[in-house]
Structures are given as structure tokens and as C-alpha cells.
A and B are shown apart, each in its own frame.
Chain A
């Protein structure tokens, strides 16, 4: 018995010693941190779904590019009525779904109606809420009528949640996604990898890669090891920024630091005393050293922010000077509020390193000004339940990664409980605004109001840290939406 086992083990080692399987010449292996729970972007909020299928497998009427601009996709062009209520989309002809069925106006009507139906389980149902009717005028024309003008409508139709699916295959997209994109789903080894293959019948510019493999590697140290061992060609979101200095010296790899839509904030429960006192919130903002935070958490990568708005946006104004790091001022403000040393607070931290690591630093900084902070590490499920749904928290750290999400401050009952009437009025005016100048002015007013009220302590804009093989080109540097668009990626010669 023992001898047989020995032989078996010896065989294993012998096999192993034969070395690595040669990497397929025209494939790319992409490392992702979280495995998507399913592959249907219209029935789940997990960013990991879009990271695999967006633009690669599924396409919408419009699409969003690396710079956040709206481009035509399945809609070739569109006309907008003067009252901004009717959108007429002229559809791409000759596009086919991966199962061979043709794409036409009825698929668009089906997809949009399905997403906004009462029994829909679309995670971003609010995107479709302004839609009043969808009419398939003829096979290549769709008319969408809105109930009110909506500025971001074309952008919204480019989200992963608004992709076009076929009635024949929609129900099975969770496990066998059928879209119109340049890659088709080939297989999913649960827990490790998802493989896409080039779609030879694609209607547009064909993909340059034959195959894309998404490898799930949750552990940062394992990610680094996989990169070094040559098991992975690219980490579009490299999970261990502290290792970048190691990688930077290695000519095999390229590092690309880009922007994301993720405003990382220390969220404060504005409804709960003593945090309903603006002086206490301002004291918190003064107590935090953003530079030190970015140095310690993101190894220096990340842009400080002073309000809930991304620095790369045209309407951005720099408000980081509003609450400079000043522990004495923080103590004075607390004293002013009559709470010099008796505030106790719990800081609930979800799993990402920006929260866990940042939380330790912020807790120490707040303790230094006399706020007694206790850390509680929780999982996402608990965070959603306790913090987000039930508003049961004092302080928490989270990154809001949805694009253009300043509007959340106008929502009633939103977890940090702000919803000031003046701010709501600003947001309502924003939706009505017809010109860019008007919009920019309103957005700037909104940023100022949030900073002035110190609603939350605004920390920094999350960077997108891409690390990949230096010969693999054409990947996104920025991530205006969470996606790994591989449609233009290609290998260069040595």
C-alpha cells in the first residue's frame, strides 16, 4: 500500500518537474479579487459580475469608455426630442447573440421592460424609473419615452445593469451568459476561473485576443505570488499597493495608476447625538491627516478629497483646504460643543483594506483628540444589514464607487441621514438643468454644501492600480465604471 502511494507521489513530482504549461499564445489571464456570484449583470449588484462580462460579453444601447464618455454600442445613433422626453434609438443591424438569434428592437424592448417590471430583480432599478414607455417602431428603431427629463439617461443606459439580453436566453444568463459582445462565454470553473473565447461572428471590430481567462485570487499575497510566478498576465485592480515598489523595478511588468469613481469616506451617522452637532463633525474632519492616511493605506496612491466628488470630473472643485489637519482646532471644536473628552463611538469596518487599515489610523487619530473610538470589524453582509439598511452605527469607512452619486445625499433615510431640504432642492434643480454651465454650477454648489456641513469626513479618491505584463496593451487605465474591458487588448511582440 505504502509503496503504491510512494509511486503515486513520485509520479506527481515528476509531472510537476516537467514545468509550466506553455501559456497560450493569444490568451490573457486576468486576476480578479472576488468571484462573481453569477454572470447576469441585470440581476445582481456585485461589481465582480461587470468586471467579467461588461463590454466583453454583454453590450447595451450605449457604452461607457475608459474616460467616462458615452459611445454608441448596439444603438448606432439616437435623436432626442427638444423637450428631452423622447429618445429614438437607431439600432445596429446584423448583430447576433452568441446563440445565433438576431438582435433587433424587440430585444431592446424586452430588456428594458424586464428591468423596470414590478417583479424585476435588477439591482439598479432606479436607472429605469424615469422610463414611461418603450416602443419597437420597426426592427431597427426603438422609441423610449421618459416621464421627466433625465440628464444622465444615455450614460445610465451604458451601465452593466442596462445591457441588452434576449428573451430566449435571459433566464439562463446567470450561469450561461448570452450577449452580443466580442467574446462569448466558454466555461466557468466555480471558485477559480471563468473563460471567455473570441466571438468570430461579432458585428463590429473583432477582439484581438482569442481567449480571456479571469482567475479568482482573493488573497493579496497570493496575487503577488501569481504575478511573479507568471500565472497571471494582469491585475486590473492590484490588491496590494504596498508591493508596487517591488514590481516597479521589474521590466516584465507595467504599472498604471488611474482614477475610479470611488469616494472613500468616513461616514458619520448625522442623526445620532453627538454627531448631529456640526461642531463634532467638523472636529472629526480636522482630526484626520489625509496625507498620512493615504501614505499608510495606499502607499501614497490616492487623491485627497474635500467633498463627495471625483477630482477628475470637470465640475470638481478642490475643497481639501476646508478642514486642514489640525488636532488643536479639533479639540477646541469639541470643547465648544461641550464634549471635550466624553464622546465614545464605534467605528464599523467592512473587509476591504482601505477600511480595515484606514480604520486603525483614523481610530488612533480620533483618540488623540479625545474621541474614544472602538473598532468593530464586520463582514459586508453585516455592514449592509447593520449600517446600510438599519443605520445602526456611529462611524464607518466605505468607498462609494457608483459614478455620479452625489445625489445619495438627497435621499431620505439614506444611512448617514443627511437629506437637508436645501440640498434636495439643489439636486432637483440639477435634474432640470439643460445646459452644461448650469449643471457645473449646481454641482459645485452641492460639493460646497456637503463640505460646509461636514456631513462625512471625506478622505480620498480610490485609485485604480493596474499591474500587468508589459507586453499586454489596450487595457483601461481609469475605471469610470467597474469593468475590465478586454475588447481592445492585445499582445505586442517582444
Chain B
């Protein structure tokens, strides 16, 4: 056991980083490839070809409209990744500055930010997402909005908490003595130091975003047809399960592998970037 942990300490690429990185790269590659090439047009409906089992012509078979499932899964990667990525981006771009500012200002502003976070957390997420899409109509953009809103408090809390502990550190005090303003210190000294934590959290939120997009599309509120989406493919395949199990298998496996890859990557990154937990392991 000693040997193993020592080996892991010296070899910086942990198995989870390796596995997670590979999976994630593969799926991102699939999404990029789908822009220039898919075996078939993923929206092409050929009713006569419906429910074909997997074959050389259709690797993952065809769905109830005769569309090629492999092509749909490839393109679905694009939608899932895009929605989750932008949602996390929204959370980062709004949440981190809010958290940093709250940590820098303290007082009333801090209180307001934190209480607003509490408020957002208090709302049942899926319900609010459903309400948002009921107001704005279903679609990828509104799914991003619905998922993004819940990422804001995650990042603002994390940024605030991490920043607070840094504000008492010497190098920050030194910068203060040098007369730098709170915003400048946050930007120049604090942000670089909490970047690794944010990246790790970002990876995990990315994975959650993929699941959330799948859930929203599953209830019909996410990406709209004809754009393929893993969650909607699962929903549509549901009643065909007894007839054509491969329908549910491909998108389901795609979701599981993507989330798995991202979570492993997040774990690996944490080991790599956060010295404390690395040593503890």
C-alpha cells in the first residue's frame, strides 16, 4: 500500500486523470467531428428504414423514424456539450466576480449576495427550470438559462469562501499596504490562486450540466427537434425498449460515459492541482 501511494505521488498522471481525460477528449472529438462529418444526415427521416437493428450500414441501428442513431448520438454530443458548457460559463462569469467582490467588500454587499444565493438554492431546481421553460418556451437557450442560474450560486459561494481565506494571507496584506484597491487585488492576487479550485468545480458542474440537460430534454423542455439530443432520444425510445433495445442503449451509454469521464477528470485534476488532498491520498 505504501508502495502504491508513493508511486501515485511521483507519477503525476493518476489513473482517474488518464481515464477521465481520454473519455472527455473522445467525446469532445466526436462532437467536433459531427460538424464536418456524420455517416448520415442525423435529421434525415426514412420511414421505411425504421427500427433497424445495428448493422454495418447503421452502427447503432435506426430509430422509429428511420434516422441513423450513430449520427444522432454524434450530433447529440454537440448539443449536450454546448448547453452544459455555456451554462457553466454563465455560472463562472457571473458567480465568480460576485463571490470575489463579496469577499472583498464584506458587509451589506456580502450579505445580499449570500442571501440571494440561499434563495436560489432554496428553489427546487428542476421545478424552477420547468417554470422558466413554461414562461420562455422550451429550447436550448432557455435550458442554458435554467441550468446556468443554478451554477451562479455554486461558483459565487466557492469563490467567496476560497477568497476569504486568502484575504488574511501575507501576500494579500502586502498588496493592500502597497495601496492596491480591492478589485485589483481580487483580480491580480486572489483569482490566480483560486483558479485551480474553480477549474475542478467547473469540471464537476460540467458533468452535472450534461445530466441536467438530459433530464430537461427527457421531459421535453430542452433542445427541440429536429436537433438531436441524448435526453430526448431516451424519452422517445422509452416505449420501444421491448421492441428495439438499442434505441435506449446508445444515448444512455453516451450520457453515462460523458458524465463519468468528466467526473474522473475532475477527480484527477483535484489530485493534480490541490496539493493537500493529493498528499492525503
Contact = CB atoms under 8 A, between A and B. Distances in A.
A426 interface: no
Contacts of A243: 239-240, 242-243
Interface stretch (B68-76, B161-169, B219-227, B253-261): B219-227
Contact of B65 (A245, A246, A360): A360
A374 B137 CA distance: 14
A348 to B, nearest CB: 10
Given A242-B64, A292-B47, A296-B47, A360 B226 contact: yes
Interface string B243-264: 1000000000000000000000
B45 A224 contact: no
A167 B238 CA distance: 48
A120 to B, nearest CB: 30
Contacts of B138: 377-378
A364 interface: yes
Nearest to B242: A246
Contacts of A296: 45, 47, 50, 64-66
A111 B241 CA distance: 49
B225 A360 contact: yes
A220 interface: yes
Given A296-B64, A364-B226, A376 B137 contact: yes
Contact of B239 (A221, A378, A382): A221
Interface in A214-257: 219-221, 224, 240, 242-243, 245-246
A140 to B, nearest CB: 52
B243 A360 contact: no
A246 B134 contact: no
B242 A364 contact: no
A363 interface: yes
A221 B220 contact: no
A376 B241 CA distance: 27
Given A224-B242, A361-B65, A379 B45 contact: no
Given A242-B64, A364-B43, A376-B137, A221 B238 contact: yes
B278 to A, nearest CB: 32
Interface in A107-160: none
B45 A364 contact: yes
A267 B240 CA distance: 29
A218 B273 CA distance: 48
A72 to B, nearest CB: 42
A379 B243 contact: no
A387 to B, nearest CB: 13
Nearest to A292: B47
Contacts of A242: 64, 239-240, 243
B220 A377 contact: yes
Contacts of A378: 137-138
Given A220-B239, A242-B243, A377-B220, A295 B47 contact: yes
A296 B64 CA distance: 7
Contacts of A364: 43-45, 226
A344 to B, nearest CB: 15
Contacts of A359: 225
Contacts of A377: 138, 220, 224-225
A375 interface: yes
A296 B220 CA distance: 19
A256 B65 CA distance: 25
A41 B239 CA distance: 32
Contact of B134 (A221, A245, A351, A379): A379
Interface string A352-366: 000011011101100
Contact of A375 (B44, B225, B243): B225
Contacts of B224: 375-377
B281 to A, nearest CB: 27
B45 A361 contact: yes
A245 B239 CA distance: 12
Interface string B34-75: 000000000111010010000000000000111000000000
A402 B91 CA distance: 49
A378 B220 CA distance: 10
B137 A360 contact: no
B220 A246 contact: no
B226 A363 contact: yes
A377 B243 CA distance: 26
B45 A221 contact: no
A28 B266 CA distance: 54
Nearest to A244: B243
Nearest to B139: A376
B239 A224 contact: yes
A375 B137 CA distance: 12
Contacts of A375: 224-226
Interface in A326-378: 351, 356-357, 359-361, 363-364, 375-378
Most chain B beta-carbon contacts within 10 A, residue among A361, A364, A375: A364
Given A221-B241, A377-B225, 12 more contacts: A242-B239, A246-B243, A296-B64, A296-B66, A351-B220, A357-B64, A359-B225, A361-B47, A361-B65, A364-B44, A364-B45, A377-B224
23 contacts: A219-B238, A221-B239, A224-B242, A242-B239, A242-B240, A242-B243, A243-B239, A243-B240, A243-B242, A296-B47, A296-B50, A296-B64, A351-B220, A356-B220, A360-B65, A360-B226, A361-B45, A361-B47, A361-B65, A363-B226, A375-B225, A378-B138, A382-B137
Interface of A: 219-221, 224, 240, 242-243, 245-246, 292, 295-296, 351, 356-357, 359-361, 363-364, 375-379, 382
